[in-house]
Structure formats: C-alpha cells, structure tokens
C-alpha cells in the first residue's frame, strides 16, 4: 500500500509528485532500495510563499525495504532552500 502513493496520491492532495532518482533491487527481489525526489504543495498564503521564495517544498526520500527481515527503513531530508533573511541592522 505504501508504494501506491507514488508518484502521486489523490488521498494526499498536498503531495504533488515525485521522481525516482535511484533504484536498486536484489536478484531475488528481497531487497529493494528506492530514492525519490518529492514535491509538496506548501499550505501557506500566497503572500507568505512569495516572501519565502517558494511555491513547493522539495525533499529526497530513500526507502530501503528488506523482505527477508521484514523491515522498511526510510530516510528523508529537505532539499528546499528558503530565501528568508532578516533585514540589516
């Protein structure tokens, strides 16, 4: 069920899309590692988005599924660079 939300999911409207960056599958299919760059629609007023300089938030997510051990390890980090700055004194 987790895999079905990619590249988009109508049940998560703020999730705009994703692109596969890297993917690895072991020969027996027990290990599957996939890295995606995901795009979220920021839930903020348009003026605030303009001030921050972002319309979307981008993050990279790496999922490592090991069927033998029945584990799913998820790593993610924010890739968006916000351009907020305080005024000079």
Residue ranges covered by each domain of the chain: 3-78
pLDDT at position 60 is 92
- Per-residue confidence (pLDDT) for residue 83, from 0 to 100: 47
Asked whether the whole model's pTM tops 0.85, one would answer no
Asked if pLDDT for residue 1 goes beyond 50, the answer is no
60 and 36 in contact (C-beta within 8 Å)?
Answer: yes
CA distances from residue 49 to 4, 62, 78 in whole angstroms, order as listed = 29, 27, 17
- Reported as a single tens digit per residue, the pLDDT across 28-60 is 999 999 999 988 887 777 777 777 777 788 889
Model pLDDT, residue 11: 67
Q: Which string of b and e fits 8-28 if b means at least 16 CB within 10 Å?
A: eeeeeeebbebeeeeeeeeee
């Amino acid at each position: 069920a987790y895999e079905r939300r990619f590249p988009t999911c109508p049940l998560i409207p703020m999730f705009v899309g994703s692109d596969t960056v890297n993917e690895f599958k072991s020969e027996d299919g027990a290990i599957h590692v996939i890295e995606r760059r995901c795009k979220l629609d920021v839930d903020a007023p348009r003026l605030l988005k303009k001030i921050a300089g972002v319309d979307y938030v981008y993050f990279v997510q790496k999922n490592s599924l090991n069927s033998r051990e029945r584990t799913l390890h998820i790593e993610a980090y924010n890739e968006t660079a916000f351009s907020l700055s305080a005024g000079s004194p």
